[in-house]
Amino acid sequence: MLNQAKSEVSCLEKIHRMYVNNGGDISFWLNYGSAFTIGVVDNPQKPELNTKVCLPYESPVRGLATSGWRGRSQSLGIADAVTVLASSSACADAAATLIANNVNIEHPEIIRKPACDVKDDSDLGMQPVTVKVPFLLEKKFLGHFKKEQHPQKH
């Protein structure tokens, strides 16, 4: 048993980094002196690199996740993509999902359907999920958003 443990430790000393990518939820391990560079893509239909982030060994970040209405999971909000870096991919996934679900406005061109109509095996049941978000001009979007955040008193 001790020899096996020594062998495993010896093996780890030769590895600079390891990572697992589960559909965009990424967990990684870094050896001392190593770094992990990730690329962020905001639209899976147009996989273009929007930015890069370099995470050194000293960083507490060991996981990241992206959530949004364009992704493979269902979303209650209108965010194209919300990427979160956290201490684990599970924490990043929970935070990205919460944020993406809460980026929201009501707009006549935003289409939502019951989750079970979009995916048979959805655990969201009849809850409406976003299936289409039109291009929202900033001026139009901000005007709509301000109305919802500060309703007029009668």
Q: What is the pLDDT of residues 2-45, one digit of tens each?
A: 566 556 656 777 889 999 999 889 999 999 999 999 988 767 67
Quote the CA–CA distance of 31 and 58 in Å, as a whole number: 10
**pTM, 2 dp:** 0.77
- The sign one gets for the Cα dihedral 122, 125, 126, 128 is negative
Residue 154, amino acid: H
Question: Can you tell me the distance from the alpha carbon of 104 to that of 99, in angstroms, rounded to the nearest whole number?
Answer: 10
Q: CA–CA separation, 29 vs 20, rounded Å? A: 9
Render pLDDT for 54-81 as a digit per residue (tens, 0 to 9): 999 999 999 999 999 987 789 999 998 8
Residue the block writes with tokens 């929201």 = 104
